[in-house]
């Protein structure tokens, strides 16, 4: 059989990776890189149509819990506000609501892992105690301080195990500044300390993808809509902490692992009757 495509063909070359990593990680680079038309307009429009106009979160998703919502096999979640802002959390383990959204999410996760120099599969399959990418579709229609300025995985992480200066986040833009919403939106602090609003300053359109350094400060602010504007719509790919499945969590609680005679000895030692 003729050689048509090989595993290496679908990977970035060394030269491309060098250039991309220099843009992201070197102090002379901006700390972000844009892949324009990563998703062609027809597919981007389809994704927007599904999540902005067709999705019925009350039927398809469960309202997210404030603490430790993610575990293997957990449902897809949503959060919403009165003015119509919505966040959908769509784990890879299903159900698949929209095939295009799911395939694009996998492709972006793979691209990010390649650039970070990490194994793609490490955050695709959930296991308790690990982290797993849970793609989000976010629709923001109004607000002042929507996500306050902060960084992730930087040197100021309270738990040193969470420091990882190579970590990247990806934002797939699914709306256009001033056409679909007004104000600022996502604001990122570059490697040289200057702030950039990608959508406004880089003139992003729906389907453009940005990979950016997670430890650099970032925020979402000042968004408003008028008339039939849909809002600031994008997809994000945060690695989420994965807890134990709820039933197994009860069975494997620390207390349950201590044998009864040992419990009596401990209680006696600490003076508990
Ligand atoms: Fe963040």
pLDDT profile of the chain (273 residues), mean per 10:
75 88 97 97 98 95 93 95 91 94 96 93 93 97 95 92 95 98 97 97 97 97 96 97 74 50 62 58
CB 174 within 8 A of CB 236: no
User: Mind giving me the DSSP string for 241-260?
Assistant: E----HHHHHHT-HHHHS-H
Report CA 210 to chain centroid distance, whole Å: 12
pLDDT of amino acid 9: 74
Calculate the alpha carbon distances from 241 to 101, 128, 132, 149 in Å.
22, 8, 7, 21
Structure tokens at 139: 């629709």
Quick one: 227 and 266 in the same domain?
Answer: no
CA of 152 to the centre of ligand 1 (A): 5
Instruction: Quote the domain boundaries for residue 104.
Output: 12-242
CA of 4 to the centre of ligand 1 (A): 41
CA of 53 to the centre of ligand 1 (A): 27
Q: What is the CATH number of the domain that holds 132?
A: 2.60.120.620
Q: Are residues 81 and 185 in the same domain?
A: yes
Q: DSSP states of 218-231 as a string?
A: EEEEEEE--TT---
What DSSP state is assigned to residue 73? Answer: T
Model pLDDT, residue 254: 52
207 and 268 inside one domain: no
CB neighbourhood size of 45 (10 A): 14
pTM value is 0.87
In this structure, the answer to whether residues 119 and 205 fall within a common structural domain is yes
Whether 108 is in a domain gets the answer yes
Closest CA relative to residue 105, chosen from 59, 94, 49: 94
Nearest to 182 by CA among 202, 199, 206: 199
Per the structure block, which two tokens stand in for 43? 């597919």
| Count of residues in the chain | 273
Q: Is residue 5 part of a domain?
A: no
pLDDT at residue number 28? 96
Q: What is the pLDDT of residue 236?
A: 98
What the block records as the tokens of 180 is 């679909």
Ligand 1 centroid – CA 245 distance (Å): 26
Distance 201 CA to ligand 1 centre (A): 20
* H/E element, 199: helix 198-201
* Residue 225 and residue 258 share a domain: no
Measured in angstroms, how far is the CA atom of residue 150 from the centroid of ligand 1? Answer: 6
pLDDT at 249 (0 to 100): 46
Asked whether residue 155 falls in the same domain as residue 255, the answer is: no
């Amino acid at each position: 059989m003729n050689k048509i495509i090989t595993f290496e063909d679908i990977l970035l070359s060394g030269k491309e990776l060098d250039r991309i990593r220099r843009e992201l990680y070197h102090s002379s680079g901006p700390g972000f890189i844009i892949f324009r038309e990563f998703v062609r307009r027809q597919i981007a429009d389809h994704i927007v149509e599904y999540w902005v106009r067709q999705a019925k979160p009350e039927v398809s998703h469960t309202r997210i819990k404030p603490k430790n919502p993610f575990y293997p096999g957990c449902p897809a979640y949503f959060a919403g506000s009165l003015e119509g802002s919505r966040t959908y959390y769509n784990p890879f383990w299903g159900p698949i609501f929209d095939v295009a959204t799911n395939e694009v999410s996998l492709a972006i996760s793979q691209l990010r892992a390649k650039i970070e120099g990490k194994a793609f599969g490490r955050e695709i399959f959930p296991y308790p105690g690990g982290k797993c990418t849970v793609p989000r579709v976010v629709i923001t229609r109004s607000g002042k301080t929507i996500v306050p300025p902060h960084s992730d995985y930087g040197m100021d992480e309270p738990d040193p195990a969470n420091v990882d200066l190579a970590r990247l986040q990806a934002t797939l833009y699914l709306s256009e500044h001033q056409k679909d919403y007004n104000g600022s939106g996502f604001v990122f602090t570059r490697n040289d300390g200057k702030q950039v609003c990608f959508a406004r300053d880089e003139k992003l359109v729906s389907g453009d993808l940005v990979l950016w350094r997670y430890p650099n400060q970032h925020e979402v602010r000042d968004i408003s809509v008028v008339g039939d504007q849909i809002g600031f719509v994008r997809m994000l790919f945060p690695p989420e902490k994965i807890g134990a499945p709820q039933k197994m969590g009860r069975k494997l609680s620390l207390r349950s692992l201590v044998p009864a005679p040992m419990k009596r000895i401990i209680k006696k030692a600490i003076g508990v009757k």
